[in-house]
């Protein structure tokens, strides 16, 4: 299978996966996860403009809109965006917009957002490094100087994914052609589990002034105090990690 065909095939799988009834239901309920809420509370101090990349059905966009932010959400999936627009209407808010768009094609005005969020490890569903880097670059460009970006990633050693990668990745032609860190579960959903060096490369390339990594479950256990760690957090197999970056 050629490279381009493989990418298309993976994009089709990802699209179909996020179009299933169960998934739409899961991503439709407007709310922030506890950890998202805590991190937003700590780092998004003024009520500015947020870009929600791969927003799905506006789960987080609407919740952030209700907290007084102006939010633009972008997603490639027609069904999710339609659901998001319905939910925005239901909630009767006018400060949240959902836009049907491939994140690779985002063309927002340079430095026009105070914050960018890429929640629920969405970058991991984008096939090919060049595409993931392009999305990251576009998000970075649209962020104001001093603005904050929050991206979530699974740690590379997250056991369920790591083990499955070992057992499942050699089964058919599509899988055998995958790159390091790429995983295809049951021919249904694609993940790229960023090796630590790929994350560091992203952050160094764009010269972020500051970064912190927060593991999901530590945040859960300690009320409002948010402990943070730096590099070595990458080695811990927690559920997933919040990377908070300042431009």
Ligand X SMILES: C[S@@+](CC[C@H](N)C(=O)[O-])C[C@H]1O[C@@H](n2cnc3c(N)ncnc32)[C@H](O)[C@@H]1O
The binding site for ligand X (CB under 6 A) comprises 14, 18, 27, 54-56, 59-60, 74-77, 80, 102-104, 119-120, 122, 125-126
CB nearer to ligand X: give 59 or 216: 59
The torsion region of residue 146 among left (phi > 0), alpha (psi -120 to 50) and beta comes to: left
Residue nearest to ligand X (CB): 56
CB of 55 to ligand X, least distance (A): 5
Closest separation between CB of residue 172 and ligand X, Å?
A: 22
CB-nearer residue toward ligand X: 81 or 165? 81
- Measured between alpha carbons, how far is residue 201 from residues 8, 114, 115, 211 in Å? 26, 23, 21, 13
Min. distance of Cβ 188 from ligand X in angstroms?
A: 13
75 vs 182, which CB is nearer to ligand X?
75
Q: Three-state DSSP class for 226?
A: coil
**Long-range pairs for 5-14: beta carbons < 8 A, 24 or more residues apart:** 6/127, 6/174, 6/177, 7/127, 7/128, 7/131, 9/174, 10/127, 10/174, 10/184, 10/190, 11/127, 13/184, 13/187, 13/188, 13/189, 13/190, 14/125, 14/127, 14/189, 14/190
Shortest distance in whole angstroms from residue 11 CB to ligand X: 7
Q: CB of residue 17 vs ligand X: minimum separation in angstroms? A: 8
Contact 23, 17 (CB under 8 A): yes
CA distance 23 to 186: 16
Closer residue to ligand X, CB minimum distance, 18 or 208: 18
In the bound state with ligand X, the residue whose beta carbon lies nearer, of 3 and 222, is 3
Taking the complex as a whole, how short is the minimal distance between the CB of residue 123 and ligand X, in angstroms? 9
Shorter beta-carbon distance to ligand X: residue 87 or 122: 122
């Amino acid at each position: 299978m050629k490279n381009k065909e493989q990418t298309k095939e993976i994009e089709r799988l990802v699209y179909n996966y996020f179009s299933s009834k169960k998934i739409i239901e899961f991503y439709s309920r407007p709310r922030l996860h506890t950890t998202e809420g805590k991190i937003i509370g700590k780092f998004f101090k003024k009520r500015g403009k947020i870009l929600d990349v791969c927003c799905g059905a506006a789960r987080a966009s609407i919740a952030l809109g209700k907290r007084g932010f102006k939010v633009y959400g972008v997603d490639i999936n027609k069904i999710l965006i339609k659901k998001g627009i319905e939910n925005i209407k239901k909630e009767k808010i006018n400060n949240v917009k959902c836009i049907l768009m491939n994140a690779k094609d985002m063309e927002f005005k340079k430095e026009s957002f105070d914050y960018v969020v890429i929640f629920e490890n969405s970058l991991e569903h984008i096939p090919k490094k060049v595409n993931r880097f392009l999305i990251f670059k576009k998000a970075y460009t649209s962020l104001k100087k001093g603005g904050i970006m929050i991206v979530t990633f699974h740690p590379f050693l997250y056991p369920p994914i790591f083990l499955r990668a070992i057992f499942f990745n050699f089964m058919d032609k599509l899988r055998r052609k995958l790159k390091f860190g790429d995983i295809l579960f049951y021919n249904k959903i694609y993940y790229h589990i960023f090796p630590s060096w790929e994350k560091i490369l992203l952050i160094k390339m764009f010269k972020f002034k500051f970064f912190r990594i927060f593991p999901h479950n530590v945040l859960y256990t300690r009320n409002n105090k948010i402990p943070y760690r730096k590099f070595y957090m990458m080695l811990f197999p927690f559920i997933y990690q919040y990377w908070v970056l300042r431009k």
